[in-house]
Amino acid sequence: MNLLLLEPAEIASGSPVTVRGERARHLREVLRVVPGQAVRAGVIDGPLGAVTVVEVHPDRVQLDARTLAGAPVPERCRVDLLLAMPRPKVFARLLSAIASVGVGQVWITGATRVERYYFDCHQLEPGEIRRHLLDGLEQARDTRLPEVTVHRSLGQLLEGLLPAAATRLVADLDPSLPRVAQACPAQGRVIVAIGPEGGWVDAERALLARHGFLAVGLGGRVLPSDVACLVALGLVHDALRR
C-alpha cells in the first residue's frame, strides 16, 4: 500500500480519524508507524497529501487528517477505456492494473466473442469493482476513482453514451496501422477500445469505425486482451505526456 486512502465520510467532522482492519495492520506491521509520524494519504476522489499518526493501538490507528483539507486534488485522467468484458477472473485482476496505469472512465461491453454468462459473475458487483479499483489507486498513489459502467450491447453503448468530444482509438495488431503516438491529440480526452480474446469481428470493427474509432497498431505481436489493454493504455499515456 503506497497510499492510505480514506473515505470522505471519515474526515467530514474534522475529528481524528480512526482506521481499523487491513489499513491499521499495514500501518502497524509494515510501515511500523509511531505517533508524530507523517503518512502519505488521500481522500477518495479528493485531496492527496499526508496525515499525522496520533495514537497506535493493537486494533486501530488514530490519525490527524486536518492537513488534507488544504491539499491539492489530482486531475482526473484524460484516458478512458472501452473494454469488451474479459473472463471474470482476468477482469478482477485487470481492474486493479488499469486503475494503477490510470483511466478516468471504463465502459464494459459485450461483444460477439464475449460469453453471455460473464455478465452474471460476482466480479461485476459494484462493491467488488470498487475494491479492486481502490487497490490500484493505492498502488499508483492516486485518489481519483475511475467510473465503471456495464453495457451488454456494444451497439447501444456506441449510440450516444460516449462523450462526443474525445479522440477515439481502437487497438489492433496490424503493424502497418498508424502508431498510437501519431493519433493522440495534444488536448482533450482519449477513448481506447480493447476487444475480447480473439478480437472484434468484422461487423464490430465496422461499427466502431462508423462511430469515429480509428484503428491504431500495437506492434504486431499477438497479445492476450488484458495485456493488450495495458500496453495500449501505456502507449496513450506516453503519447499524451509527449
Domain containing 33: what range? 4-70
205 has pLDDT over 90: yes
Q: Do 58 and 177 fall within a single domain?
A: no
For residue 242, pLDDT beyond 80? no
Residue 159 DSSP SS3: coil
Which of 2-6, 19-23, 172-176 is the least confident region? 172-176
The domain that holds 27 is classified in CATH as 2.40.240.20
Chosen domain end from 70, 102, 126: 70
Same domain, 200 and 219: yes
One-letter amino acid at 110 equals G
Instruction: Average the pLDDT over each of 24-38, 130-144, 196-210, 212-226 and give the range with the smallest value.
Output: 212-226
pLDDT for residue 175 is more than 80: no
Contact 3, 23 (CB under 8 A): no
pLDDT tens profile 71-126: 999 999 999 999 999 999 999 999 999 999 999 999 999 999 999 999 999 999 99
Q: What is the CATH number of the domain that holds 168?
A: 3.40.1280.10
0.75 surpassed by pTM: yes
Between CA 18 and CA 14 the distance in angstroms is 12
**Count of domains forming the chain:** 2
Instruction: Report d(CA 166, CA 105) in Å as an integer.
Output: 12
Percentage of the chain exceeding pLDDT 70: 100
Q: Is the pLDDT of residue 203 over 80?
A: yes
Q: Is 86 helix (H, G, I), strand (E, B) or coil?
A: coil
84 with 196, same domain: the answer is: yes
**Cα–Cα distance, 180 to 166 (Å, whole number):** 15
Rounded CA separation 136/51 (Å): 20
Q: Are 47 and 68 in contact (CB under 8 A)?
A: yes
Q: Look at the block and give the residue holding cell 496501422.
A: 177
Whether 85 and 150 map to the same domain: the answer is: yes
Asked if residue 149 and residue 202 are part of one domain, the reply reads: yes
